[in-house]
Structure 1
Amino acid sequence: MKDPHVFVIVGAGLAGAKAAQTLRETGFGGEIVLLGEEPERPYERPALSKGLLLGTAERESVFVHEPGWYAAHDVDLRTGVHVSAVDRAARQAELGDGQRIGYDALLLTTGATPRGLDVPGADLNGVLSLRTLPDSDRIAAALADGGHLVVVGAGWIGLEVAAAARQHGATVTVVEHSELPLLRVLGPGIARVFADMHRDHGVTFRFGATVRAFRGESRVSAVVLDDGTELPADAVVVGVGVQPNVALAEQAGLTVDNGIVVDQALRSSDPRIYAAGDIANAYHPVYGTHLRVEHWATALHSGPAAARSMLGAEVVYDRLPYFYTDQYDLGMEYTGYAPSGGYDTVVVRGDLAKREFIAFWIAGGRVMAGMNVNIWDVTPQIETLIRSSKPVDLARLADPGIALEDVTPVDTQPLASGRSNRS
């Protein structure tokens, strides 16, 4: 007999699609309704600023499932659909056309929206942001034309776009209000590695600067900085962060604070409503605080975790935050959580100048996060150090001649093994 329950997922991105997949794989036989505002079926976003811009990835490769997967697995995928309200008392999601869909459990995976700049000319053609497939297409078209590209914001998206643009031969200027790229994320020592790398590839930085206006007739032709400098621009990409799409949660009266506040099982303040992906400000048992993480891996893993929680499983979502980037000949993976002000030192093993190293962010001797640059297959060891939650010997941590497996908590420190680092 078919399960009579109806599970509704609002947000047809990676988190929502993987949640639907998990529901079916774990034997849920009820109705699954997957609602997305974009016209495309669910897709993954990393290639939008990487392979698609570089021309190394095929467009079809970004989609989570083949076109026929949803029908074959009895998932009612509806694209181009706006959900206008959630009626918690009636347990219904209301669509923009007035239709109501009842639910037994509701999962919100509505993602985030790029922040814009509230300056004159922000609506000119050629002033672009990057979040969706069409956004990536527009930026790729602009890069193909070469010319002058101005990137506003030296975060991960901004730097990946800058790298792709240089590899297309464009002249690139990055405008950043801080003194270095990624300064709040990485701290000055590691941030300089990225600044130097981009300068080596011909990128010009304007640090300590903000945008006053965009100029042009119908299309942008210049970016005006706060000191009056005008930068020529055939196109502009604004990458100054995103804001979680929490309007629906606020309308429904859920607890919202930097995203939808959920527990370690990804349950919101309403026990029938869950959240995953960019909008979930989830309690993380390893760090003992709520975290909202905007990266691909969070969508990939939190969607399935929320699905299992919806089915009544005892879920503790404790995946460590993880993200990666590829820029020029640099590949990087970052694991953990070390916000600005949340660590007291950075330990480096390896060679910063060669851009082959692992950096560790340390608080009270404890490893809070680790980033491996052009060194591979060390993420499990970094995770082990973070999860130990105990101080480690920082001298051993910095020594490439000691395997990461042998950098154990100081209260159980063995004799030096003399083994070489496998990385």
Structure 2
Amino acid sequence: MDKSIQLFLHSSEETGNLHNAYQRALSSATELLIVSAYLTNWDSGTALNAGCERFRMVVGKDFGITRKSACNAVLNWAPAQHKVHFRVADQISGFHPKAVFWREADGQAYAIIGSSNLSLAAFESNYEVNVILPISADDLNRARHWVDQIAARSVPISPDWLNSYRESKPPKGSGTKSRKKEQNAEVLPIRLPRPKGAAAVVRKRRKQLEQYKKNRDGLIKLFRQCGAGKISSSTFYARLPSYWGGEVGGRLQGKGWERQGKSANFQQLAESYIKIVDAKAGARDDTVVAEFDHLRQLKNPARKAFLSEMLCLEFPKLYPVLNRPVQNYLSDEKFSGSPGMSEGARYLDLALKLRLSLDQNPKHPANNIAELDTVIWLAYHLD
């Protein structure tokens, strides 16, 4: 691609090559970040590069302009592991960016910045001005951090979210009056359960987390030894109770995973766990998705209950324990993930929803996902 700045001027008489630039970004990106004030059309004709390791796409919902049909088109287009990263700026008012940032296999990064939203008119009939330009690695890092901040306050788009979203009617005239009414058309906040006894189970969970902290260093060392092949899978399993569960405490779930998990390849699991622990904060969510999908491909039976608990213990603000009560809660709240997600993407989707739930309920007894897990268990667990 030309590494000089290119200016795209678009009108009904002059079409420019903006569409070609978008196609280039989709087909060649190893990392792709898209932000748009609204989404009314999506051309699924160009597949996302199979080598794209990191994908974020966040669209706005102000005035109800974003179209449900376009959102469904993106959900159908996005690869399974990336569907969870198609999000809406649900918690941000005044979300009006229009930009694409991407990095190609040779390491060079580019940006498209201008007036065009993701709409058919922006590429066909509107008067628009955009530029495409090469950007430095430092600028890409800044853009990545900025988009990550946006994504953290955004919701993965799913059929449940679309059902709750109030799409505006296309304006007949200038639309000024109707759009002012639509501007406050927010998606309803998430309700968190407050069952009787919630405060007591939260106190118990905090003690469990403190017990984990006392043995954490030894447990991490055990994972590193197994992941590096210095001890066998069976030795890892035999030594595990010295650092987690049993007399030392720090275990969140009851017994159950051992029935299938005992025979698991813990070296595989330890390798994945250490990759997640060692990942940079901005890359950790992507690493979680990749490692869950990797362990699923290997059919490792300990990847759900055991690995998710290890992540919840180490990152109590970020990742939940995989259990049925939490799934029942999201189903009850009509906040389930999008069909077709990979296993890792479904787990991250769950984590993002619970993070958002806590952000919207600052006075809830639970202060983090690990504490919220035990409250949800109390409310939704059926013996």
> TM above 0.5, one fold?
no
Q: What range describes the TM-score normalised by the shorter chain of this pair?
A: under 0.3
Higher relative contact order structure (alpha carbons within 8 Å, sequence separation ≥ 6): 2
Structure with more of its chain in strand, by fraction: 1
- TM-score normalised over the length of structure 2: 0.24
